[in-house]
Structure 1
């Protein structure tokens, strides 16, 4: 009675090219998210200073008592 052969997975080392591609993609994704955040903060700051120059807002507290 012969035993059946069991297929064992072949363990290979890490693929350097695959890891470089994954690292580059993750780096670009994180960098683009950070850049979009930076642009959003710049837009808010620019809008604040534009309103300040137009006189629509003020940073001085009104003394109404």
Structure 2
């Protein structure tokens, strides 16, 4: 038998309410499946690598001193 108690504290409830509101307002990402989420994240990695490659290949010229 478990001795732990599952209690939602007021702080946790506030965080849950905020997350639900953000989801309802379309402010969060929502995927139908875990595979959809993984595919989305893998695409981000590819886009980031492309961006890094372009910066390496065509570095911005710095003007002036910092």
Same fold (TM over 0.5): no
Higher Cα radius of gyration:
1
Q: TM tier, shorter chain? A: 0.3 to 0.5
- Give the TM-score of the pair, scaled to structure 1: 0.41
